[in-house]
Structure 1
Amino acid sequence: MSVRFLARAAAVAAATVLFAASASAETVRISFQRSSTLLITLKTNGELEKRLKPLGFDVSWHEMTAGVIPTMTARAVDIHADVADAVPVFTQAANVDLTYFAKESASPKAQAILAPKGSPIAELKDLNGKRIGVQKGSGAHFLLVANLARAGLSVSDVQISYLQPQDARPAFDRGVIDAWSVWDPYLAQVEAETGARVLADGSNGTSTYKRYYLVNSEFAAQHPQVVRTVYAALQEAGRWVKADRRRSAELLSPLWKGVPVPVIEAITERRSYDVQPVLAEDLATQQEIADAFAESNLLPKAIELKSAKTFDPTAP
């Protein structure tokens, strides 16, 4: 048997093994939204694909164009985009079996209630009877509810319009709504472009604004190492974004439809991007949010956060 034949046979065998490995690779489906800075960074640099390939996984990316809560309740992906603290409360109330596996530490100034430049609305109590835009079930929704209560108002004292950010912005610009409760990058962009004024953000103690990463519970149970790998990549991406703000802003600007680099740097300044495990104290804060929504009749039922599932990606 010739050496050339043996070499050719070995090459064919190696190619067959590689093809079989590729053909048997599973796909982890990951969602993201416009404010998902760390996931967008990983999507762009291909780091997750590189880390998950040795585990036998490819990655498919899915933008949450239909809204955050409908996408999560549909369970069309395995690992969900980072969402504001209020969102998992609504998904739990909808009996969606999700597991918390990471959080970004508090960023209380990264969402706010805005009034247009020149508006007679000067403080929170002036919102009485006004039209306010907000995305239902978002962290900004909780910020609004909490700050109305702080001003001695309830949701019944105002006219709330449930709008996605892409619909709320033109409504805000045209005066169809009198105020807007929203988060970055939309917040920073409308501030920079219109001179909109902040009536309140979470720094007054009403909202810590932590962002949570969740995974379908069945997927976490079956593929814990995938979840750990995603967590480690998120941590590193967060450290890079904070350490190299200019380069990370330059990466995000075209992806955020041309939001100027200085505006993105301002966003990075007030967003923590500090990825950590979810602790019992976090669920206690989540319970406060759930109770506030239940008291305002904004949840279909009261829920107990002690029944929420968590996964510690740092545990051996």
Structure 2
Amino acid sequence: MNVRQLALATTSLLAALGLAACSSSSTGSARADTAGGGATVTVRLPDGGNSGVLALGRKDGSLDKALAKVHAKVAWTGTAGAFAPAAQELDANALDFAEGSITSAIAALAQTPGFKLFAAVDPDKLGEGILVKKDSGINTISDLVGRKVAVWHGGTSEYLLLKALEQQHIPVDKVTRVYLQPNQIGPVFNSGQVDAWSTWATYSVPTIANSGARFLTTGGEVGSENYAVWAVRNGFAEQHPEIVKALYTYLHDAGVKQQQNPEAYLNVRTDSGPEAVSDAQKAVELPIDKALGTAQPIGATQLEHFATVAQFFADQKITKGAFDVKPHVIDINATAASAK
């Protein structure tokens, strides 16, 4: 999910807790292997799956090459998906880096601030939004009144629905939110148990391509400020700033290349089987990826938008008060200077 799209599968909460339990014997820092007289730091990243910059970086060796310059190597851990379980893995020292949305990051930081943010990608205006079936008869946000909308609690999904309702001055209690994990929602939506689905590109693309669903509204249309963000475990950031900088640089440069040639970042490992992106999905996916930006430093502009999102979540009772994200942000440019 572009940096935003790391996989087409979602890590479940149960899997996250299992990984956290397996990490209980960890020392609290990334493992350093001694080989050839030098220490190599092992960096734990979510598996990039079959599409995206990490997937291609794994296949062609470019990520290994970039990290080798700072005496680091990758250990692929689990799969990329919803940020909430990944945040738990960061907190439990089962993962060193993860990517998600600022909405999910705020919700996670408000509970256990075990990580810091070091990069951001502009909001996805085309791939996120509220899906409805093509023959649903739902044509405006007002048509959602009295209906059920599937959401994932406290992140992109709930944020987009609440933004859409606010935009149309519709009281939130006029629409029923059905809370489900993202990978559970597809069958529920397709069977008609809910009337709409607020989601992001990992799920909207295959749903639109395979079932003919359509966007009732998109992130761009509701004025979304839902940046994608990259997070690093606190202990790792303190011990290895040069690796954080190296990964940032890789993500930035690879994201530029992906925007220029998005098709090269699809079906990296295989073009068949359940992981593969079909031709129908490509038709939906490629315009979204081409419109996306790349990883950038988190500066004053991004912080202003983060604060607006935090205030919105507080106003909507998603969090208790407006969480201040700024103390949990790394100035990657300052990190670069200190790492020299």
The two structures have a TM-score, normalised by structure 1, of: 0.84
Residue correspondence of structure 1 range 259-270 to structure 2 within 5 A: 259-261=277-279, 263-264=281-282, 266-270=284-288
- For structure 1, which runs of at least 5 residues remain unmatched after alignment? 1-17
Residues in 2 aligned to 1:137 and 1:255: alpha-carbon distance in whole angstroms: 32
Report whether the alignment pairs 1:201 with 2:221: no
Relative to its length, the structure with more helix (as a share) is 1
> What amino acid is aligned across from residue 260 of structure 1 in structure 2?
S
Shift of residue 301, structure 1, vs aligned partner:
4.3
Matching residue of 1:96: 113
> Does structure 1 retain, via aligned residues, the 8 Å contact 2:142–2:170?
yes
The structural deviation recorded for 1:209 is: 3.3
Determine whether 1:274 maps to 2:289.
Answer: no
Residue 201 of structure 2: aligned partner? 184
Aligned to 2:268, the other structure's residue is in SS state helix
User: 1:205: Cα distance to partner?
Assistant: 4.4
Taking the aligned partners of 1:165 and 1:310, their CA distance within structure 2 comes to 29
1:225 aligns with 2:242: yes
Query: Partners in 2 of 1:30 and 1:144 — Cα distance?
Result: 30
| 148-157 or 56-65: bigger deviation | 56-65
CA distances 1:213-233 after superposition (whole Å, capped 9, x unpaired): 111222112111111111111
Between the aligned partners of 1:233 and 1:66, the Cα distance in structure 2 is 20
User: d(CA) in 2 for partners of 1:247 and 1:222?
Assistant: 34
CA distance in 1: counterparts of 2:233 and 2:188, whole angstroms: 35
Deviation of 1:188 (Å): 1.6
Q: CA deviation at 1:248?
A: 2.3
- Of the candidates 88, 97, 102, which is equivalent to residue 85 of structure 1? 102
Q: Between Structure 1 and Structure 2, whose CA radius of gyration is higher? A: 1
For structure 2, the residue ranges without an aligned partner over 5 or more in a row are 1-32
- 1:22 is displaced (CA, Å) by 7.4
Amino acid across the alignment from 2:260? A
Q: Distance in 2 between matches of 1:35 and 1:204?
A: 30
* Percentage of identical aligned residues: 25
Q: How far apart are residue 65 of structure 1 and its match? A: 6.8
Checking the alignment, whether the CA contact within 8 Å between 2:209 and 2:284 is kept in structure 1 is no
Cα distance, 1:84 vs structure 2? 1.5
Q: Secondary structure at the match of 1:86?
A: helix
Aligned to 1:37: 52
Instruction: Tell me the distance in 1 between the aligned counterparts of 2:303 and 2:107.
Output: 14
1:112 Cα deviation from its structure 2 partner: 1.0
Name which of structure 1's ranges 116-125 and 18-27 shifts more when overlaid on structure 2. 18-27
Equivalent residues of 2:210, 2:280 under 8 A apart: no
CA apart distance, 1:265: 5.5
2:332 aligned counterpart, secondary structure: coil
Contact 2:267 2:276 in 1 (8 A): no
Aligned amino acid, residue 284 of structure 1: E
Instruction: Using the TM superposition, name which of 35-44 and 237-246 deviates more.
Output: 35-44
Match of 2:29 in 1: none
Q: Match for 1:293: what amino acid?
A: F
Shift of 1:34: 6.4
Q: Give the 3-state SS of the residue equivalent to 1:274 in structure 2.
A: coil
Paired AA for residue 43 in structure 1: R
SS state of the match for residue 311, structure 2? Answer: helix
Normalising by structure 2, we get a TM-score of 0.79
- Correspondence 1:286 to 2:309: no
The reply on whether 1:240 has 2:260 as its aligned counterpart is: no
2-side partners of 1:283 and 1:157: how far apart? 32
**1:304 pairs with 2:324:** yes
How far did residue 33 of structure 1 move? 6.8
